[in-house]
Structure 1
Amino acid sequence: MREQNGSAVTMTEVARHAGVSLGTASKALNGQGKLRDETRRRVMDAAQELGFQPNALARGLARNRSYTVGLLATESLDRFSLPLHRGVENALGADRISVFLCDGRGDPVREQFYIDQLLSRRVDGIVVTGVQSDERPSLGQLELPVPVVYAYSRSADADDLSVLPDDRFGGRMAAEHLLGLGRRTFAHITGPISFAAVRERLDGFRSALAESGVELSDERVYSGPWRESFGRQAAAELLRRHPDVDAVLCGSDQVARGVMDSLRENGYRVPDDVAVIGYDNWELLALDARPALTSIDMGLEELGRYAAQRLLAMIDGPRDGGVVRMPPHLIVRESCGATAGVTPRPLSERPFPAGPTRQEAPEGA
C-alpha cells in the first residue's frame, strides 16, 4: 500500500504499524540483532502489508555492504556454465544480492579488466566459474580485498576455496552399478587424457572394478576428442579387438551417442549385449538416444548454489580454503539394462566385426 500522495512507505511507518521502536524495526528488516521470533515476524508482516520497499543503498551503508557479487566466468554460454550460474544466482538472489556477470573467456587481460570493474563497484565477493576442473591461476596474487570462491574451476592456490564435482566418485558409481547388473567385461571410451576429470573418472572406474576382482587393462581404454564421431570410431576398434565386451563407461554423453551408434551398426544390442553409461546427463542427447542413455549427472546447479552459499559465509565471517568435491548422481535409463531386465547373448551368438572401420586406432588405444 502507498500513501495517497505517491510517496514511499517509510520504516518509521512500519515501526508504528508493528508497535515497535524504529531501531527494532530496522534490526528486523535488516536481519540484525537478537529479536524474538514473534517480534521479527510482526515487523515483517507490517512491512508486507504496507508495501514497504527497503532502500538498498541505506541497507548497504548500514552493514558496510554493497549486496552485489561478481560472477567471473570462463564461458558464460557454455552448456556446463548455464546450470552452474543458475545455482549461483538462485542462492544469491534468495539473499537479495545482485550479480554482475563478466565473461572473462579465459583471457587474463579480460579477467583483469573485469576484476577492476567489479572492485570499483564495491562487490562483496567474487565467484569464479569454469567449464572444467583443471587448475587455473589464482586471483589471490592480486591481493583482492574481498573473498573469492572457485566453482567447477580449481584454483592453483590451496589457500583458495574450490568447489568441484567428485569425478573419481562418479567413475566408481558407474562401475558399481554395472557390476551390480552382472556385467564383467568392461571398457572405457572417454575424452582427452590431459583433462583432470578424465583421469579422475578413469581412476575411480578402474579402482572400483579392481576391488571386485575385475581388471580394466589399458587396451580397453580409449581417449580422444569429445565428439560422437570419436565414440563411433573407438567403439568399432573396441569391438574388433575385444568383441566380448559387455559394458562401456563413456566420458561424455556425446561420446556415448557415438558408441551406441557403432554398437548398433555392428549388430550389437544395447543394453542386451552391451550396457552403456554416459557422463554429464545432457538431456538433449540422453533422452533422445536409442535407447535413452543412463548418465552421470555432475549436479552443477547444486554445485553453484553451494559455492555461492560458501561465499556468503565468507563475506560475513572468516575466509576458507581447500577443495570441496560435490557428489554426482546416477540417472538410470534404458541403456544400462537396469530397467529392462535384459540378459546378454552368449558369445557364440554375438556378431563379431570382420575388421576395423577406420584406418587408424583411436588416440590412446
Structure 2
Amino acid sequence: MADRRPPDRPATLKDVAAAAGVSIATASKALRGGYKVRADTRGRVERAAAALRFTPTRLDANRPHGRSGTVGLITHDLEGRFSIPVMMGAEDAFGTGGIQAFLCDARGDAKKEREQVRALLARRVDGFIVVGDTTNPRPSLGRDLRVPVVYAYSPSADPTDISVVSDGYGAGRLAIEHLLDSGRRRIAYVAGDPSFAAAVDRAAGAGEAMASRGLQFVGGGPFFGDWTEAWGRRETRRLLASDTEIDAIACGADQLARGVLDALRETGRRVPTDIAVMGHDDWRHIATQARPPLSSISMDLEELGRLAARLLFTAIDGGGGAGVHVVPTRLVVRGSTAPAPAPEVQLPATGRRP
C-alpha cells in the first residue's frame, strides 16, 4: 500500500483503489457499505483508506466549482425485474465516477415524480436518470430544469431529450435467426400485450427475420395476448389442436414461454426434439428453472444503466447526446432450442452387413 501521491494532495478514491488493488467502483462500494463486497476485499479497502487518511468528503475537492457530486435516480418500478438491473448498472458507473445517487420511487405517479424532482433539485443534484417500467415512450420532464436528464428503458416522448433503450426490434430478429439457423422453419410466434411497444417491436423484428428467408409465421401470427403464462398455455393448445405442423415457438417474453413449455409437456411434445421454444428477457429465475432451461434474449439492462450514467456524466460536463441511444441485446442459448434432427435417409440394401 505504498503512497506515491504528493504530500500536499489529499487522497482520492482513485488512490484508495490503487492502494487496495481494486477498481474504483469496488472501492466506492466497500467504503459505502450495503453492497455485496467480499469481507477480505472490504477490509483491504478500509485499511488502504485509513492508511491514506481518506475521507469521502474530500471527493468534493476534485469536482468543478458548483457541482454537488450527486444525481437523482428516479424509478417507477422499484420492485420490477427490469428497473433494478438498470439501476444497478447506473450505480456501478456512479461509483466509478465518485458520484452519490439519491434514489426515489415514483411508483408510476406523475405528481409524485414532480415532487421528487423538486426535492432533489433543492439538494442541488447535478442531473437525473429517470427509469421507466415499460418501453413505451413517456412524457418529458421538460426543458426548464437547470440540470440534464437521461431517460432509461422508457424513452422520452421528446426526441431532443437523451434516452437509452433496449433494441426490441433487433431482439426479435435475433430470436428468429437463432431458430432458423438451428434448422427450424415452421415457427409460430406468441406475443404479449399489443398496447406495449415491447410486444410490437419484438414481433416486428421477428417477422422481418422470417420474411428475409421467404417464410411466414405458422397460422398467420404473431398472436398477441397478454404477458402471462396462462396466455402462453392457451395459445399453444389452440395451435396444437389445429393440427398445424410446428417445429418451433418463439415468445415475446419468458412468462409466455413457460406457459408454452407447460402446454407442450401436457400434450406429450418433447422440447426441443419435437418443438423448440424461445423466450425473451432472460429472466433468470424463470429461464434457468424451466424444464428444459429456456433459451432467451437478454436485454443487457445493466449495460443500459451504465450507458445512461455515462451519458449523464457527459451532459453534466456540457456535452451532447440528445436522441435515442439503443443498446443491443444478447442471445442466451439453453436447452429449449437445439438444431432440428436431420431426416432419416433410407439407404438401398446392398446385401452386406455394416
Shorter-chain TM-score tier: 0.7 to 0.9
Whether contact under 8 Å (1:280, 1:295) holds in the other structure is yes
- 1:67 lines up with 2:65 in the alignment: no
Instruction: Give 1:216 shift.
Output: 2.3
Structure 2: unaligned runs, 5 residues or longer: 15-47, 345-354
- The answer for the alignment partner of 1:254 in structure 2 is 255
CA distance in 2, matches of 1:18, 1:301: 34
Question: CA 1:345 to 1:261, structure 2 compared with 1: closer, same or farther past 3 Å?
Answer: farther
Indicate the SS of the match to 1:163.
strand
Q: Quick one: distance in 1 between partners of 2:237 and 2:59?
A: 63
Aligned to 1:222, the other structure's residue is in SS state coil
Aligned partner of 2:229: which letter?
E
- Structure 1 residues 290, 52: CA separation in 2 closer, same or farther (over 3 Å shift)? closer
| Aligned equivalents of 1:335, 1:189: Cα separation in 2 | 16
- Deviation string for 1:42-74 (max 9, x for gaps)? xxxx98843232534853775311111101111
* Distance in 1 of aligned mates of 2:149 and 2:95: 18
Task: Identify the residue that residue 267 of structure 2 maps to in structure 1.
Answer: 266
Q: Is the aligned partner of 1:152 residue 2:139? A: no
**Could you tell me which residue of structure 1 aligns to residue 181 of structure 2?**
180
Q: Which residue of 1 aligns with 2:287?
A: 286
1:163 aligned onto 2:161: no
Mapping for residues 4-43 of structure 1, pairs under 5 Å: 18-19=5-6, 22=8, 25=9, 29=12
For residues 74 and 18 of structure 1, do their structure 2 counterparts lie closer, same or farther at Cα, with a shift above 3 Å needed? closer
Match of 1:121 among 98, 103, 123: 123
Residue deviations 1:258-289 (CA, integer Å, cap 9, x gap): 00111111121111111100011111011111
* Alignment root-mean-square deviation, CA: 2.5
- Contact 2:78–2:105 (Cα < 8 Å) also in 1: yes
| Corresponding pairs, count | 310
**Structure 2: which amino acid aligns with 1:227?**
T
Hey, what's the Cα distance between the residues in 1 that align with 2:252 and 2:163?
A: 22
2:136 corresponds to 1:134: yes
What is the TM-score normalised by the length of structure 2? 0.82
Residues 203-262 of structure 1 show CA distances to partners (whole Å, capped at 9, x for unaligned) of 111111111111126733221121111110010011122530111111111110100111
Q: Which residue of 1 aligns with 2:35?
A: none
Could you tell me which amino acid in structure 1 is paired with residue 76 of structure 2?
T
TM-score normalised by L of structure 1? 0.79
Describe the SS at the equivalent of 2:211.
helix
* One-letter amino acid matched to 1:97: I
Amino acid of the residue matched to residue 300 of structure 1? L
**Contact 2:60–2:68 (CA<8 Å) still a contact in 1?**
no
Specify the alignment match of 2:349 in structure 1.
none
User: In 2 relative to 1, CA 19–167 (structure 1 residues): closer, same or farther, beyond 3 Å?
Assistant: closer
Pair 1:320 & 2:321 matched: yes
Question: For residue 324 of structure 1, what is the amino acid of its counterpart?
Answer: H
| Greater displacement, 59-68 / 79-88 | 59-68
Where does residue 353 of structure 1 map in the other structure? none
Of structures 1 and 2, the larger Rg is shown by: 1
Shift in alpha-carbon separation, 1:81–1:242, aligned structure 2, 3 A: farther
* 8 Å CA contact retained: 1:138, 1:156: yes
Q: In 2 relative to 1, CA 19–155 (structure 1 residues): closer, same or farther, beyond 3 Å?
A: closer
How far apart in 1 are the matches of 2:173 and 2:246?
Answer: 19
- Checking the alignment, whether the CA contact within 8 Å between 2:153 and 2:165 is kept in structure 1 is yes
Q: Gaps (5+ residues) in structure 1?
A: 2-13, 32-45, 347-365
Q: Which residue of 2 aligns with 1:52?
A: 54
CA contact (8 A) 2:249 2:277 kept: yes
**Does the C-alpha gap of structure 1 residues 218 and 268 become closer, same or farther in structure 2, counting only changes over 3 Å?**
closer
Is contact 2:232–2:260 with CA below 8 Å preserved after alignment?
Answer: yes
Hey, what's the Cα distance between the residues in 2 that align with 1:305 and 1:61? 21
Letter in 2 for 1:209: M
- Structure 1 runs of 4+ aligned residues shifted over 4 Å read 17-20, 28-31, 46-49
Shift of 1:77: 1.3
- Look up the SS of the partner of 1:149 in the other structure: strand
- Alignment partner, residue 194 of structure 1: 195
Distance change >3 Å, CA 60–CA 19, structure 1 → 2: closer
